[in-house]
């Protein structure tokens, strides 16, 4: 069976690179320094997760929300930009966490939430106008016909044929 690479894969790879980058410097540093750098990276990751999202599970999930709309359908292409995106956003969340030391945890959580919300609204929720029309119960015959022939992914909102089993954008079961 064909398996689609999900957004969590790119997040795990990027966070693994963030934590274990000292292993690439084995010939330059002593093993003790490398172990200390890895431990420092783990502490910084936990610190950033605590100040940005409250716990690590929500922190990981927020990165999945950010990476999901950027999937191109080709893993070789997506890995070129998804991992640098996660690393850049991790650095941003780390800087928010450092500011959160002085302004409070709620400040960091609010701004991190704004970043995740921006990615969700701008990239995932592309059918906002259609949903707005649907919520006001203003229908035309074309919309009704289109609605019967298609369905939408409950995770990313992508319009799919009515016979679809998996979403071709996020890979989740419809």
122-143 tens-digit pLDDT: 766 554 444 444 444 444 444 4
Whether residue 102 lies inside any domain: the answer is: yes
Across residues 51-59, what is the average pLDDT? 77
Question: What span, in angstroms and rounded, lies between the C-alpha atoms of 36 and 127?
Answer: 47
- Do residues 74 and 136 both lie within one domain? no
Q: What does pLDDT average to over the chain? A: 77
pTM for this entry: 0.64
The pLDDT, as a whole number, for residue 125 is: 55
- Do residues 73 and 142 both lie within one domain? no
- Do residues 47 and 89 both lie within one domain? yes
- Do residues 56 and 25 both lie within one domain? yes
Question: What span, in angstroms and rounded, lies between the C-alpha atoms of 46 and 147?
Answer: 45
- Do residues 73 and 119 both lie within one domain? yes
């Amino acid at each position: 069976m064909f398996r689609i690479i999900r957004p969590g894969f790119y997040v795990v790879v990027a966070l693994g690179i963030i934590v274990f980058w000292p292993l690439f410097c084995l010939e330059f540093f002593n093993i003790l320094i490398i172990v200390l750098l890895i431990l420092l990276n783990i502490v910084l990751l936990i610190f950033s997760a605590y100040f940005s999202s409250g716990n690590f599970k929500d922190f990981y999930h927020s990165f999945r929300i950010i990476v999901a709309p950027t999937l191109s359908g080709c893993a070789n292409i997506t890995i070129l930009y998804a991992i640098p995106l996660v690393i850049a956003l991790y650095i941003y969340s780390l800087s928010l966490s450092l500011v959160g030391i002085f302004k409070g945890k709620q400040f960091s959580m609010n701004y991190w939430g704004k970043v995740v919300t921006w990615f969700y609204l701008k990239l995932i929720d592309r059918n906002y106008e259609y949903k707005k029309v649907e919520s006001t119960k203003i229908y035309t015959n074309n919309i009704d016909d289109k609605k019967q022939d298609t369905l939408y992914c409950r995770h990313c909102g992508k319009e799919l044929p009515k016979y679809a089993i998996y979403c071709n954008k996020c890979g989740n079961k419809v």
